[in-house]
Amino acid sequence: MTEDEMDERTREALRGYRVAPEPPLDEMWDAIEERHFGTSVVSLTGRANERGRAARADRRWRLGAPSWGVLVAGMAAMLMLGIGVGRMSRGVAPVVAAAPEGVYDYWTANAEPYRDATTEYLGQTVALLTALPAAVRDGQPDARFVMQAGDLLSTTRLLLDSPAAASDPRLKTLLEDLELVLAQLARLPAEHGKTELNLIKEALVQRDVVPRLRSAVVSISSDDN
Amino acid sequence: MPRAATLRDDSVPLDERALIARILDGDRVAGRQLYEAHAPRVHRLVYRLCGDTELAQDFTQDTFVRAFDQLSRFRGEAAFGTWLHRIAVTVTLNGMRKVKRLRERETPLDEELGLGTVSHRSDPDLRSRIAAAVDALPEGTRLTLIMHDIEGYTHAEIAEFLGIAEGTSKSRLFDARGRLRLALAAFVRE
């Protein structure tokens, strides 16, 4: 073997030296964000929202036809319109009653970040659940629908552990119901998920989840004014 | 050897000065953008240096936290990527010295090779021999070889990262290549 050949083989072997695995960028960013900027549920829901947008855009490109993702976007827009109406009509009672004087009121003391995050989260969740019937193609759940349910489930659990849920029993109950529903959706099998989906749909109707969600979004938005 | 044209992914156009100003105002979205532009390359370098998946993640996180914490001191005299990679090297080397059990925890090379872009023509025995030879190099020599011949940094950049003269970087590289040739020669004779 010549020296050049040896050098070439060495270079080739060096390229395989400690090849890094794919870095978990989201996981690392969570730690960095918390350490430098402080914890924020806003960023978490924002990231879920970004992923949702990317997934929807990707799906539009690949399928070239309206999908449940498009429906979600449309419904989210309608929801935002509803929020706007809610903001304009100040007669809607807020979810959280005003705290008695001298009593700590979470929404007054720490309103902005959690209120924005909760509103955004509820909006995404109602859009997702409303789009549930369209998320089934050929008897199987859409993979991106399941992924988004998983993202929202994470946010649900964060909100359940937050002061927002601790200080608002109605919100906490709603979040607990959503946690169950989203957990079921996130665990839907890639195949044979039709039966489970039907059960989830029935549970949604029986527990009146979507109307309660809409009410919560409008109420929190009204409370913001 | 593969060369790195710049210290960040140029496919992502960024106005880094504007991003830095926003981060200093507490804008975490800007922080995320800057992070995403640099994190893959920082992580890759850190992993090459430490050879441990968990440590590489920890050191990468420490790098960005320290960079963000010290961002007000960044004067823009060097490229942000250069400044960031200098922090990454410092954090990694200090971290490795603190972690005494590093060698025992190193991920077996063969497991990691399957995750990367290793040429199928490359002889597994040769790879193992070369990997062992690289690991056996003195620390400074090994770092110089990794940064120059694998990651594609210039001698000027390596000198800045490691706080050495460019000439020292060149001589270390010469030494490293010589040792690898010896290891390979022994392998060929076998």
Per-residue pLDDT tens for A65-101?
344 454 455 555 555 545 544 444 444 344 444 445 5
Query: What SS3 state is found at A137?
Result: strand
Task: Evaluate whether B94 touches B63 at the Cβ level (below 8 Å).
Answer: no
Residues B103-118: pLDDT tens digits?
555 555 444 433 333 3
High-pLDDT (> 90) share of chain B, %: 44
pLDDT at res. A144 = 76
pTM: 0.49
pLDDT at res. A201 = 72
Q: Assess whether B57 and B103 both reside in one domain.
A: yes
Q: Assess whether B92 and B40 both reside in one domain.
A: yes
Q: How many CB atoms lie within 10 A of CB B32?
A: 23
Q: Assess whether B83 and B39 both reside in one domain.
A: yes
Cβ contacts below 8 Å, chain A against chain B, sum to 130
Q: Is pLDDT above 50 for B3? A: no
> What ipTM score was computed for the predicted complex, to two decimals?
0.76
pLDDT at res. A39 = 60
Q: Assess whether B69 and B134 both reside in one domain.
A: no
Record: contact B122-A16, CB cut-off 8 A:
yes
Task: Evaluate whether B161 touches B84 at the Cβ level (below 8 Å).
Answer: no
Q: Is pLDDT above 50 for B124? A: yes
Site of tokens 């080397």: B93
pLDDT at res. B100 = 57
Distance CA A71, CA B92 (A): 47
Task: Evaluate whether B143 touches B68 at the Cβ level (below 8 Å).
Answer: no
Record: contact B61-A31, CB cut-off 8 A:
yes
Q: B31 in contact with A at a CB cutoff of 8 Å?
A: yes
Query: How high does pLDDT run on average in chain A?
Result: 66
Q: Assess whether B145 and B75 both reside in one domain.
A: no
Q: Is residue B2 part of a domain?
A: no
Q: Which of B32, B123, B130 sits opposite A14 (nearest CB)?
A: B130
Distance CA B123, CA B133 (A): 15
Residues A144-182: pLDDT tens digits?
777 788 888 888 878 877 777 777 777 788 888 888 778
Q: Assess whether B93 and B14 both reside in one domain.
A: yes
Distance CA A95, CA B42 (A): 46
Q: Is pLDDT above 60 for B85? A: yes
DSSP state at residue A93 = P
Record: contact A19-B64, CB cut-off 8 A:
no
The domain in which residue B152 lies consists of 122-190
Q: Assess whether B126 and B99 both reside in one domain.
A: no
Q: Assess whether B102 and B159 both reside in one domain.
A: no
pLDDT at res. A76 = 54
Out of B107, B140, B162, pick the residue that ends a domain: B107
Lowest mean pLDDT among A203-207, B136-140, B170-174: A203-207
**Residue B50: closest CA among chain A residues belongs to which residue?**
A18
| A215's tokens | 């009410």
Q: Is residue B149 part of a domain?
A: yes
Lowest mean pLDDT among A76-85, A143-152, A209-218, B28-37: A76-85
